[in-house]
Amino acid sequence: MSGNCDETRQSTESTVPSIDWGALSATVVWGGSAVAQKFLLSDFSPAALQCIRTCCASVLLVAILLLLGRRIHQALSTDFWPLLGTGVLMGIQLMSFLYALSLTSASEGALIISTAPVWTALLVATLGLEAICLRNWLGILTALGGVALIVLGSSSRAGQFTNSVAGDMIMVLSALLYGLFMVISKGLMQRHGTLMVIALCTCIANIVIVPLGLRQVLAGPWSTLGTIHWLCLAYVVLLGSVYAFLMWYRSIKLTSPAHTAVYQYLQPIVAVLAAAIFLHERLAIVQFVGIAVTLGGVYLARYPAKHSPHTT
């Protein structure tokens, strides 16, 4: 469902979206979280780390709901099956991402998961939920090219580019599931609120995650963890699994899945910069070029298209 952006530019001039600080802050947090998780994965398995994240986040989110006096039973009674399906989808996506990352290189994984906005745009266009104009598509592809420069620049600097077909294919599936979750969760968030849906979906995601990771959590090296480990765990849970998710899906509720999803491209940029600062990794010139290209692509992808009459 491509459209001509120019013919609607004048009518949407006053509604051209400014920087979405909620989605941007979530991206920054997730970029830093990638560095923290990389450190933690030296002591925890992917299943164990994901189990810790979702279980802790579930408790915190439900506690927030109860403190605010939200009616959890009302949301469950109204949309039990949609919430169940969406929560299970979240659990599968979260686990598929970490398992894929354990099989493939970090560079390949970052590039592939960043295709989530493409899948989101395809889904909303196919379902007639949102018009995606040619300039939006150009921005999406440009930003993807910028991300490719960043991750390939990192690989070339290391002198090698590893490849795992199984890991790459799982990561493609994870990106598709991520895009699907962003699309189908919007309606639930409009009816029940971002906090309610994220909290319930995170709880339900444990149906998938806990059976896979609980035993490894219990066998984890808890007695040998240092202060830095606990700080990283707190960062991953409090900021990466609670704050960032709430800001991200709040943006989806207020704008659209496709326009929010393009901020996903900024996550590898933040991760590369965070790794340079905290892990002392040097940036190649091609990576700086990739950052500039990605930012330009995000700007184009955020340009408003004519909304479909079916948009909710």
Tokens of 58: 């579930």
> What number of H helices and E strands is found in the chain?
14, 0
Buried b or exposed e, range 62-82, using 16+ CB within 10 angstroms: beebeeeebeeeebeeebeee
Give pLDDT, residue 10: 47
**Could you tell me if residue 125 is left (phi over 0), alpha (psi between -120 and 50 degrees) or otherwise beta?**
alpha
Alpha-carbon distance of 28 to 267, in angstroms, equals 7
Q: What is the pLDDT of residue 167?
A: 78
Model confidence at 203, in pLDDT bands (50, 70, 90)? very high
What DSSP character marks residue 127? T
Confidence check: pLDDT of 305 > 70: no
Of 276 and 218, which is predicted with more confidence? 218
Q: Which range has the worst mean pLDDT, 15-24, 77-86, 87-96, 248-257?
A: 15-24
Q: Which amino acid is at 197?
A: V
Write down the pTM of the prediction.
0.79
CB 204 within 8 A of CB 91: yes
Specify the pLDDT at position 154.
Answer: 61
What number of other Cβ atoms are within 10 A of residue 193's Cβ? 17
**pLDDT category, 92, cuts 50, 70, 90?**
very high
DSSP 243: I
The per-residue pLDDT for 131 is: 75
Please write the tens of the pLDDT for every residue from 142-163.
888 887 887 777 655 554 455 4
Angle, in degrees to the nearest 10, between helices 266-278 and 134-158: 30
Instruction: pLDDT band for 304, please (50, 70, 90 cuts).
Output: low
